[in-house]
Amino acid sequence: MTVPRVYVQSMLLAVMCLGQFVTEAVSLQEAQATSIAESGPEYRAGMKRSESRPTVHQLHPDQIQRSLLQVLEREMAGKVQAIHAVVVDPLDPMKVPAGHIGLKVSPNGVEEGLGRRAFHVQININGEQWQTISAIADVSASIDAVVPTRVIQIDSLLEAEDVTLHRIKLTDLDHQLITNVKDAIGKSAVRPLQTNNPIRLGMIKKPYAVRKGDRVSIEARHGGLSIQVVGLARSNGELGQTTTVANVDSGKELRAKIVGPGAVRVEF
């Protein structure tokens, strides 16, 4: 059987092309290997430098806010029930070196109280001082204050069911609000008190034990001798205060100490 000449020529051409392709591929692999071998130390050094770059962490505003709250809680201990602080500067996270982050917060100057305040924040990394920044926060607080459960008229006595506690947002630490219901019960209103409005110290007082025009029992003491007569109170007075009374029989006015409701004592 005779193979056509055209077929033989095609096969020879294919073999020649394949050989050339294999030779070029081997040459390319050798060139790449040589290039890697020649640049090996520099390449490895570059990789090492890249790996040795320090990792960067971030300090977030909420971390600063938590540290501020700790300082404010110590500053206002015993004065309020709850403290709130919102950081308004910085608002964005800041880059810090890798490591344990510690914050030391101190007020800017002698500034205290509520409202917008500035603080110094010392940033420590692994116990070492790294940088100090300024932070600004809006500080507010609230307190449980005594409020009336109903309208209380002037001179009315406050009973246990007349008062309760409500959480009140403060505008000033010097609030003069009554925070214990025991301090309000049994007192009388200096002015009308509105429902759920916090009661301040100047709004209530000790009730009058003696009122002007009331008939009172006057006890006159001298040594071991005691005499009681009826008198009229010339003015209002609280327990322990001194008031003027008049003897009903003689009309004589005396200065007497109020010792109880409707009772006064005169010492000779």
- Domain enclosing residue 215, as ranges: 208-267
Assess whether 86 and 120 both reside in one domain. Answer: yes
Assess whether 63 and 130 both reside in one domain. Answer: yes
Rounded mean pLDDT of 37-54?
47
For the domain that residue 219 is a member of, what is the CATH number? Answer: 2.30.30.760
Local confidence band at 55 (pLDDT 50, 70, 90 cut-offs): low
The answer for residues whose C-beta is within 8 angstroms of residue 223's C-beta and 6 or more apart is none
pLDDT at 100 over 80: yes
d(CA 9, CA 23): 22
User: How do residues 57-79 score in pLDDT, each as one tens digit?
Assistant: 899 999 999 999 999 999 999 89
Question: 141, 159, 189 — which closes off a domain?
Answer: 141
User: How do residues 184-243 score in pLDDT, each as one tens digit?
Assistant: 999 999 999 999 999 999 999 999 999 999 999 999 988 788 899 999 999 999 999 999
Confidence (pLDDT) at 1: 44
Assess whether 78 and 110 both reside in one domain. Answer: yes
- Flag whether 5 is in a domain: no
Assess whether 176 and 150 both reside in one domain. Answer: yes
Assess whether 186 and 117 both reside in one domain. Answer: no
CA dihedral for 147, 150, 152, 158, sign (positive or negative): negative
d(CA 266, CA 247): 12
Assess whether 175 and 198 both reside in one domain. Answer: yes
Assess whether 112 and 95 both reside in one domain. Answer: yes
User: How do residues 248-262 score in pLDDT, each as one tens digit?
Assistant: 999 999 999 999 999
- Flag whether 86 is in a domain: yes
What type of residue is 8? V
pLDDT at 170 over 90: yes
Question: 141, 160, 193 — which closes off a domain?
Answer: 141
Local confidence band at 84 (pLDDT 50, 70, 90 cut-offs): very high
Confidence (pLDDT) at 224: 81
Name the domain count of the chain. 3
Confidence (pLDDT) at 267: 82
Local confidence band at 21 (pLDDT 50, 70, 90 cut-offs): very low
| Of 191, 190, 194, residue with least CA distance to 162 | 194
3-class DSSP assignment, residue 235: coil
Question: 141, 164, 193 — which closes off a domain?
Answer: 141
Assess whether 151 and 214 both reside in one domain. Answer: no
DSSP annotation of 207 reads P
3-class DSSP assignment, residue 123: strand
Confidence (pLDDT) at 54: 55
Mean pLDDT in the chain? Answer: 84
- Flag whether 90 is in a domain: yes
CA angle 169, 174, 177 (to 5 degrees): 60
* Least-confidence region, from 92-101, 107-116, 135-144: 107-116
Assess whether 74 and 126 both reside in one domain. Answer: yes
The answer for residues whose C-beta is within 8 angstroms of residue 237's C-beta and 6 or more apart is 208, 209, 210, 243, 258
Which is more confidently placed, 43 or 179? 179
- Flag whether 29 is in a domain: no
Beta strands 263-267 and 215-222 are parallel
